[in-house]
Structure 1
């Protein structure tokens, strides 16, 4: 499929098709489900000692500021505070 418009229409159709079942199962929209999974991955990366920047990009974020904002909103603390808390719990 080389036509970008057709690909976009197909993607939107698929999202509309699967949205109800995903939302019923998880209680989240597809967008929020994916965002939460990416933040979970970032938490694992940070817990394993990865830098915040590397965890940001490894978990699929292309924008550092958006990562910090999303992480803080979902986790309830900034990535820096999360890392510091992880390091004090290991001691």
Structure 2
């Protein structure tokens, strides 16, 4: 949890959240979502389906995954797979 991380670095939760955003330019939540989307892309590159990728990266449902994927990449996961087909096939 954020509380555990903040305690580990000897900060209050709210101070940690402010410093994290100041240093990274994004909230902790956005950072985690970005990492999960990147992991989903790696899973797709390994040849797994879009469904497997969002389920394996902890999204509650496809609509949440799709909304966040589009926010980050500006295209759907299906378009991403089609645009990167050579990367996915070669691995």
Under TM normalisation by the shorter chain, which class is it? 0.7 to 0.9
Distance 1:51 1:15 in 2: 37
- TM-score normalised by the chain length of structure 1: 0.75
RMSD: 2.2
What residue ranges of structure 1 are gaps of 5+ in the alignment?
A: 1-9
What residue ranges of structure 2 are gaps of 5+ in the alignment?
A: 7-11
Shift of 1:88: 4.1
Matched residues, number: 81
Distance 1:63 1:15, change over 3 A: farther
Structure having greater relative contact order (Cα 8 Å, sep ≥ 6): 2
Residues 13-72 of structure 1, C-alpha deviation per residue, up to 9 Å, x if partnerless? Answer: 864242122112210011111111111111111122110000001111011111011101
